[in-house]
C-alpha cells in the first residue's frame, strides 16, 4: 500500500519532442492517496492509458518521476512495483484452470502452495467464482473472464494499486452494472488504491470517490463527482460531464459585471480581472429556467426525455439548453430565460475565474482544489 505521486511528469512518444503538441502528457503533478477510489475520466486519446502505463511501469515517462510513497520507481519494471492492472479485453491464460490463473502471479513470485490456496479461495469467494475454480478458463463468459483478470490483480497481498483500463468495454450492458457494484464492494473490502480509467462519465461517477478529468494530456480538474458537476473548473469538464453538458456563452466583461446579449448576468460572486478578452459564462441546463422576463431566446428544439424536458433555444446566435419539468414551449416561440445566480460562473480562456467568496453574497457550493492553479 502506498501513496502514489507523479511529479512533473511529461511523456512524448517522439524521440525529440519540440512543442507542447508533441507531448501525449503535458506536465502532470498528481497524488493518489492510499486506499482511494479514483476514476480517470477523459475522451479517447486524451492520455489516460499512457498515464496508466507509466504508473504501472509498462511505459517510462520521458520527463519527471513516479514515486510510491517516497521511493522513486520511475525505472522499476512492472513486476517490481507490486501493482495490478486489468485491461480492456480480459486477459486470461486459456490453458489453465481458474484456480491456476489466480495462482499464477503468486507462483511466479515463489509463494508456497499453502498460502496460495488460502489467497485463491479468499479471492474466489470475494468474486463469487468458487464453483468455477476447477474449470478451464478458456470457455468462460466475458464477464467471468474479466473477473478472473481482476482476481489475478487482487490475489497478491498489499498490492500498491489496482488499475482498471476501461474494464467493462466488452461486458454486456446488464452485467456492467453488476460488475461495477462488485468493484465498489471490492474496494471496500480490500482497501487498495483503485484507479479506474474510462471515457464513460456514469462509470466514473458511480465508481469513484474522486474523479480526475483529463483533456489533451492535461489534468483539468480533480474533484468529487458532485464538485465536477456543480462547479466545473474548466469548460471542458462542464461539457464532458452532465447530459446535456453545461451551457458556455461568450460574454463581455466590464469591471465586475458580465453581460451576455446586452443584458447583465448575475454571477455566483466576484472575480479577478480577466487577463484575456475570451470570457465565457457557464451555467448548467439544470439551472436555466423559463421566466416571464430575462434573456429573450427562440426555441429551436424541444426533447421530452422522460424524467425531464430539454429545451434548446437560441439567443444572440448562441445555443442555450434548459432542463425543465413541465409546460414545454412550442418550437419557434420566443421565451425568456433566467439563470440561477449561485450556479452561474465566469470563465476566462476556459478556466473558472468567478469565486463566491469574493463578493461574499452567494451561497455557492464548496470549491474543489484547483491543482492546475489556473484560477
> CB neighbours of 50 closer than 8 A, spacing ≥ 6?
11, 24, 25, 59, 217
The piece of 18-26, 85-93, 113-121, 194-202 that touches other proteins (CB under 8 A) is 85-93
**What are the angstrom distances between the C-alpha of 11 and each of 48, 75, 79?**
12, 14, 21
Burial class (CB in 10 A: 0-12, 13-18, 19+), 147: buried
Q: Which of 76, 96, 122, 371 binds other proteins (CB under 8 A)?
A: 96
Nearer to other proteins, 72 or 94 (CB): 94
142 binds other proteins (CB under 8 A): no
> Beta partners for 161?
83, 193
Instruction: Map the footprint of other proteins across residues 99-118, applying CB under 8 A.
Output: 104-105, 108-109
34 three-class SS? coil
H or E element, residue 185: helix 173-190
Give the C-alpha separation, 329 to 337, whole Å: 12
The piece of 26-34, 78-86, 262-270, 299-307 that touches other proteins (CB under 8 A) is 78-86
> CB neighbours of 254 closer than 8 A, spacing ≥ 6?
none
Q: Which of 11, 48, 147, 152 binds other proteins (CB under 8 A)?
A: 152
149 binds other proteins (CB under 8 A): yes
Is there a contact between 66 and 72 (Cβ–Cβ < 8 Å)? yes
- Closest approach, Cβ 34 to other proteins, in A, equals 20
302 binds other proteins (CB under 8 A): no
Give the C-alpha separation, 247 to 262, whole Å: 17
267 binds other proteins (CB under 8 A): no
Interaction mask 47-66, other proteins, x per CB under 8 A: ------x--xxx--------
CA geometry: angle at 237 spanning 234 and 238, to 5°? Answer: 90
Q: Which of 8, 13, 95, 226 binds other proteins (CB under 8 A)?
A: 95
372 binds other proteins (CB under 8 A): no
Q: Which of 5, 67, 74, 93 binds other proteins (CB under 8 A)?
A: 93
83 binds other proteins (CB under 8 A): yes
Q: List residues binding other proteins (CB under 8 A).
A: 53, 56-58, 77-79, 83-85, 87-89, 91, 93-96, 104-105, 108-109, 136, 139, 149, 152-153
Amino acid at each position: 500500500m502506498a501513496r502514489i505521486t507523479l511529479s512533473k511528469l511529461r511523456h512524448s512518444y517522439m524521440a525529440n519532442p519540440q512543442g507542447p503538441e508533441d507531448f501525449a502528457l503535458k506536465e502532470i503533478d498528481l497524488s493518489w492517496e492510499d486506499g482511494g477510489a479514483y476514476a480517470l475520466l477523459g475522451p479517447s486519446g486524451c492520455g489516460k492509458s499512457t498515464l496508466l502505463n507509466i504508473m504501472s511501469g509498462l511505459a517510462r515517462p520521458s520527463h519527471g518521476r513516479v514515486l510510491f510513497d517516497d521511493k522513486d520507481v520511475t525505472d522499476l519494471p512492472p513486476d517490481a512495483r507490486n501493482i495490478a492492472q486489468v485491461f480492456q479485453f480480459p486477459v486470461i491464460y486459456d490453458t489453465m484452470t481458474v484456480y491456476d490463473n489466480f495462482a499464477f502471479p503468486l507462483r511466479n513470485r515463489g509463494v508456497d502452495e499453502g498460502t496460495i490456496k488460502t489467497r485463491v479461495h479468499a479471492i474466489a469467494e470475494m468474486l463469487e467464482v468458487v464453483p468455477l475454480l476447477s474449470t478451464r478458463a478458456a470457455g468462460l463468459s466475458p464477464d467471468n473472464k474479466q473477473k478472473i483478470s481482476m482476481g489475478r490483480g487482487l490475489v497478491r497481498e498489499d498490492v500498491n494499486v489496482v488499475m482498471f483500463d476501461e474494464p467493462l468495454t466488452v461486458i454486456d450492458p446488464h452485467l456492467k452494472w453488476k460488475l461495477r457494484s462488485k468493484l465498489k464492494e471490492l474496494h471496500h473490502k480490500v482497501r487498495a488504491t483503485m484507479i479506474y480509467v474510462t471515457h464513460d462519465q456514469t462509470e466514473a461517477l458511480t465508481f469513484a470517490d474522486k474523479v480526475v478529468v483529463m483533456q489533451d494530456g492535461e489534468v483539468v480538474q480533480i474533484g468529487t463527482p458532485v464538485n465536477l458537476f456543480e462547479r466545473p473548473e474548466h469548460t471542458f469538464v462542464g461539457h464532458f460531464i452532465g447530459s446535456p453538458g453545461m451551457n458556455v456563452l461568450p460574454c463581455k466583461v466590464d469591471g465586475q459585471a458580465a453581460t451576455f446579449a446586452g443584458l447583465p448576468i448575475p454571477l455566483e460572486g466576484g472575480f479577478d480581472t480577466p487577463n484575456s478578452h475570451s470570457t465565457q459564462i457557464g451555467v448548467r441546463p439544470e439551472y436555466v429556467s423559463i421566466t416571464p422576463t430575462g434573456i429573450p431566446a427562440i426555441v429551436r428544439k424541444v426533447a421530452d426525455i422522460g424524467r425531464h424536458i430539454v429545451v434548446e433555444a437560441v439567443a444572440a446566435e448562441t445555443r442555450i439548453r434548459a432542463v425543465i419539468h413541465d409546460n414545454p414551449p412550442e418550437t419557434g416561440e420566443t421565451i425568456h430565460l433566467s439563470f440561477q445566480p449561485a450556479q452561474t460562473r465566469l470563465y476566462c480562456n476556459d478556466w473558472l475565474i468567478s469565486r463566491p467568496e469574493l463578493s461574499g453574497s452567494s451561497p455557492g457550493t464548496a470549491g474543489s482544489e484547483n491543482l492546475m492553479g489556473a484560477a
